[in-house]
Amino acid sequence: MLLDDLIDSAQSDELLDEFAKREIRRAILAAVAIPGYQVPFGSREMPVARGWGSGGLQITLAVVHDDDVVKVIDQGDDDGVNAVNLRRLVTTSTGADQTSIAAEASVIQSRHRIPEDGLDEESILVLQVPVPEPLRGVERDMRELARMHAEADYSRMWVSLYEDKVRNGVITQTTGYPCLVNDRYVVATTPIPRWDIPRLHESPFLTLFGAGREKRIYAIPPRTKVEPLTFEDVPFEVEHADGATCSLCKSNAAFLVSLPNSDVWMCSDTDWCRRTREASA
C-alpha cells in the first residue's frame, strides 16, 4: 500500500531531479577516471531504506534513459521481492523497458551477483554495496583509512589475510573478496561470491558500485585489471562443490547455491537456468 503510493508519486515526479542526476554522473565520471577510488556523493533519500539498494538505485536512475532496457536481480533472481520493487521504481521513474535477459539489458542493477552471461561492451553493471570500505575490518579511523588508500598501503589487509590463513588453514573470506583494481586501489567487491571475482578482470562492461548509506560511488571501467588479493602460493579458488549440479537444469557451469539444510543445488542466476532448461528441452 505504502509502496504503491510512493510509485504513484514517482510516476508524477521523478525520483531524482536533474540536479541530483548531474551530481551523481559527475561522481561516476570521477570514479571511472580513477578506477577503484571511492568518490563521495550526496546520497539522496530514496523510497527504499538505505542499505537496501539505495546507492545502486541512484546510480541506475542517473544513467538510465527512456531508451534503455533494465534488468534488476537480487542474488541472481529477477523475481526476488527487492528486485521486483526496484525494477518497478526504475522503469516507472525513467520510462525504460525491462528484461530478465542480461544480453538484452543495457543497464543491470544487481545485489550480490554478476549475471552468468550476456554482458558486453554495451552493458553497465550497477552493484549495490552495503560496505564500500574494504579496509573497514582492519581500521576504523577515517583519516587513517584515507591515508592507507592514498599511499596504497594495504599491508594491514595482507596481514588480515595472513591471519585468516593461519587461523583457519584457508582464506575464509567468501563474498566481497578484496581486489586490487588497476594496480592501485583495493576495493570491496560487495558481497558477490568468489565465483564472480575473475569475471571482473578485464571485463568488457563497465561496473559501477553504489553505496547509498555510506555515500560512496566507485567504478571498474571496461578492460581494467582486477586481481583478488592472494598470496602467490595460496591460489585464489572459486566456490565449488564436488559433483553438484543444478537440480533444475542439471548444469554445473554456473554458480550454484544449495537450499538451506539440503544437498539440493540450484543455479543462482535464475534467468540463465531458465534459458539452459529451454535450450535443452
Smallest CA-to-CA distance from 110 within 134, 81, 83, 84 is with 83
Identify which of residues 107 and 171 has a Cβ nearer to other proteins in the complex: 171
Q: Please state the closest distance from residue 33 (CB atom) to other proteins, in A.
A: 21
Pairing of strands 226-228, 179-181: antiparallel
Among residue numbers 112 through 171, which ones bind other proteins (CB under 8 A)?
Answer: 147, 150-151, 153-156, 158-159, 162-163, 165-167
Q: Please state the closest distance from residue 135 (CB atom) to other proteins, in A.
A: 14
Q: Is the dihedral of CA 157, 158, 159, 164 positive or negative?
A: positive
Q: Is 42 a catalytic residue?
A: no
Residue 183 in the binding site for other proteins (CB under 8 A): no
Identify which of residues 232 and 242 has a Cβ nearer to other proteins in the complex: 232
Among residue numbers 217 through 246, which ones bind other proteins (CB under 8 A)?
Answer: 231-234
Identify which of residues 102 and 171 has a Cβ nearer to other proteins in the complex: 171
Q: Please state the closest distance from residue 158 (CB atom) to other proteins, in A.
A: 4
Q: Edge to edge, what strands does the sheet with 226-228 contain?
A: 185-187, 179-181, 226-228
Residue 132 near residue 216 (C-beta atoms within 8 A): yes
Partnered with residue 125 across adjacent β-strands are: 108, 207
List 36, 76, 176, 210, catalytic entry: 36
Q: Is 179 a catalytic residue?
A: no
Q: Is 36 a catalytic residue?
A: yes
Residue 131 near residue 51 (C-beta atoms within 8 A): no
Q: How far apart are CA 40 and CA 211, in angstroms?
A: 10
Q: Please state the closest distance from residue 156 (CB atom) to other proteins, in A.
A: 7
> Residue 277, Cβ neighbours under 10 Å: how many?
15
Residues near other proteins, by CB under 8 A: 147, 150-151, 153-156, 158-159, 162-163, 165-167, 231-234
